Amino acid sequence: MGTTWQWQLSGPVDPRIDVPVYDIDGFGNDAAVVRRLHALGRRVICYVNVGAAENYRPDYKRFPARVLGRPNGWPGERWLDIRRLDVLGPIMTARFDMCRDKGFDAVEPDLVENYTEATGFPLTAADQLAYNRLIARLAHERGMSVGLKNDLDQIDELLRDFDFAVNEECVQFHECRALTRFIKAGKAVLHVEYRISPDRFCPVTKPLGLSSMRKRLALDAWRQPC
């Protein structure tokens, strides 16, 4: 698809990158930031963590202890028991309402492959499919498109539910061909590498139609696109 994009989750958003798509933090940016990007002709994606509770978010106290699992390696984050749709559904509904009310066009729900992680809960692939489909439905009901973040093993089952893909390090891990199912369906794949340079990954991803760039793990404004 070749859609150039910017992904910035830390620091004040730099609106000067001349790309059609920005992916920014939903909690950390207000409606004025989204309006400014829209005025520059950008479509704006709302980053929201749906697979872990972050103790620095304003709604953290809404997560009862029974759905909080092991730490996931990022400071202040704990895995969620995604089987508890009755508990997590209303919390994620409120978060997606926030994205809609701020004027975002789409959602990037992060951490949607908990069943492959040591969360502290006996999660299955079926649990993940049910949760991911709930997440996609919540976005669509609010008029926003939604991206499948990683979760390569469930692309076949979820391709109809998600409008684009966001991928980290498919070149590093030799996984990019799995993402061509999105490309063949006419859906963009927004891709980043952290540890290898564009002269190595661009020859791999450009022929496949991926929208690739290099970023730092901090996901600040710096980028190296193909």
Summarised one tens digit per residue, pLDDT across range 124-175 is 999 999 999 999 999 999 999 999 999 999 999 999 999 999 999 999 999 9
Superfamily of domain 5-225: Aldolase class I (3.20.20.70)
Structural contact between residues 20 and 5, judged by C-beta atoms closer than 8 angstroms? yes
pLDDT (mean) for 101-105: 98
Q: Match 């509904």 to its residue by tokens.
A: 93
Mean pLDDT of 176-200: 97
The reported pLDDT for the residue numbered 74 is 93
- Span 112-123, mean pLDDT? 98
Q: What is the pTM of this model?
A: 0.97
* Angle separating helix axes 85-101 and 125-141, nearest 10 degrees: 30
Q: What is the 8-class DSSP label of residue 212? A: E
- The answer for residues whose C-beta is within 8 angstroms of residue 16's C-beta and 6 or more apart is none
Domain boundaries, the chain: 5-225
Looking at the predicted structure, is the pLDDT value of residue 48 above 80? yes
**Mean model confidence pLDDT for the chain:** 97
Contact of 102 with 38, CB cutoff 8 Å: no
d(CA 65, CA 225): 41
Q: What pLDDT, on a 0 to 100 scale, did the predictor assign at position 3?
A: 86
**Residue 92 structure tokens:** 């994620």
Mean pLDDT of 36-40: 98
Average pLDDT estimate for 67-73: 97
pLDDT of residue 197: 97
pLDDT, tens digit, for every residue of 52-61?
A: 999 999 999 9
Distances (CA, A) of 102 to 38, 132, 155: 12, 23, 29
